[in-house]
């Protein structure tokens, strides 16, 4: 398999398909939310599989408890008038491009998009110098005025791995629905698989397991990018040259403390050299 060629082909497909690019940015947004939520001091570990209410809850937690991971002091003097003005500018742009009275999905998409942008503005005011604002990248696309989105919840129970949440992305030409849970379900399967294994498991072995037990078109680069990398980012697995290993919550906490200790030592050394 020519991984470089496949990766370049994948990158080109994103450039030629902006709606799909929007979805991947939204997937990254959700991964950031979960990672920040799991950083909370209450030791809670959020499930990767989402429902609309769970997504709302994670978002609100990240807004309310951002001091848990942000280094700078919070700015509690929020300019709500400025936020309302910025939000109105976005809504005016959306209303120029979309007829929100056309059907219920469009009305919901306008509300979802405006609420999403408002959360970005609030976080930006509370932490103006932060690089961790999880609403930033998607909000930049919203500001272009070409896309709006809405959640559609699917409550069917036939398949335990069926998606519960769909992201509906709307632009002037087309409406596309993406199963936002699709990656989350694969992450859960891989996490359960690694949890049962004592030795590190290679990416190739994980991919073979998925293809032999489940109907999936997942390939090597996407497995690494959208399944293994996010699991590692939220502290659920670790990796070595031998493969991937499940990381118990107590081990994840200890590793985080070790990294923080090393970071403090490096900062102290850098200060002493000035």
Q: Which domains does the chain have, with CATH numbers?
A: 15-179 (no CATH), 182-274 (1.10.10.10)
C-alpha span between 168 and 152 (Å, rounded): 7
| Cβ contact 47:57 at 8 Å | no
> Which residues are CB-neighbours of 50 under 8 A, at least 6 positions away?
30, 164, 165, 180, 181, 184
Predicted pLDDT of residue 114: 95
| Cβ contact 49:188 at 8 Å | yes
> Measured in Å, how far apart are the chain's first and last C-alpha atoms?
49
Predicted pLDDT of residue 73: 83
Nearest partner of 205 among 227, 215, 220, judged by Cα = 220
Strands (E), the chain: 148-153, 165-170, 175-179, 237-240, 243-246
Instruction: Tell me how long the chain is.
Output: 274
| Cβ contact 244:194 at 8 Å | yes
| Cβ contact 216:210 at 8 Å | yes
Give the max Cα distance, the chain: 64
How many CB atoms are located within 10 Å of the residue 103 CB?
10
Q: What is the dihedral sign for C-alpha 183, 188, 199, 262?
A: positive
Beta bridge partners of 240: 243
Predicted pLDDT of residue 266: 59
C-alpha span between 111 and 207 (Å, rounded): 39
Predicted pLDDT of residue 61: 92
3-class DSSP assignment, residue 127: coil
C-alpha span between 149 and 98 (Å, rounded): 12
Predicted pLDDT of residue 3: 30
Predicted pLDDT of residue 163: 54
CA neighbours within 13 Å on the CB side: how many for 231? 29
| Cβ contact 168:177 at 8 Å | yes
Predicted pLDDT of residue 63: 94
Predicted pLDDT of residue 41: 62
Q: What is the dihedral of CA 159, 221, 132, 19, to 10 degrees?
A: -70
Which residues of the chain are under the pLDDT cut of 70? Answer: 1-18, 20, 40-49, 100-102, 154-164, 173, 179-185, 214-217, 249-274
Q: What tokens were used for 259?
A: 């990294």
Q: Look at the block and give the residue holding tokens 């400025």.
A: 82
Predicted pLDDT of residue 13: 44
What is the Cα gyration radius of the chain? 20
């Amino acid at each position: 398999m020519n991984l470089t060629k496949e990766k370049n082909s994948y990158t080109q497909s994103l450039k030629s398909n902006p709606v799909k690019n929007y979805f991947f940015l939204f997937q990254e947004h959700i991964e950031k939310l979960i990672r920040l939520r799991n950083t909370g001091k209450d030791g809670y570990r959020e499930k990767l599989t989402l429902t609309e209410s769970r997504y709302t809850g994670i978002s609100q937690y990240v807004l309310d408890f951002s001091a848990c991971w942000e280094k700078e002091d919070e700015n509690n003097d929020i300019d709500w008038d400025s936020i309302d003005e910025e939000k109105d500018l976005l809504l005016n742009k959306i209303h120029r491009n979309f007829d929100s009275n056309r059907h219920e999905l469009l009305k919901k998409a306008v509300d979802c998009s405006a609420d999403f942008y408002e959360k970005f503005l609030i976080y930006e005011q509370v932490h103006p110098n932060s690089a961790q604002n999880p609403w930033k990248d998607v909000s930049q696309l919203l500001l272009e005025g070409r896309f709006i989105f809405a959640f559609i919840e699917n409550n069917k129970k036939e398949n335990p791995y069926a998606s519960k949440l769909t992201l509906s992305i709307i632009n002037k030409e087309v409406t596309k629905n993406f199963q936002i849970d699709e990656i989350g379900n694969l992450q859960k399967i891989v996490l359960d698989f690694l949890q049962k294994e004592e030795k590190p498991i290679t990416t190739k072995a994980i991919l073979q397991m998925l293809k032999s037990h489940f109907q999936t078109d997942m390939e090597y680069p996407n497995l690494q990018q959208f399944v293994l990398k996010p699991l590692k980012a939220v502290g659920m697995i670790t990796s070595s040259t031998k493969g991937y290993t499940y990381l118990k919550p107590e081990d994840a906490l200890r590793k985080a403390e070790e990294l923080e200790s090393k970071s403090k030592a490096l900062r102290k050394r850098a200060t002493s050299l000035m």
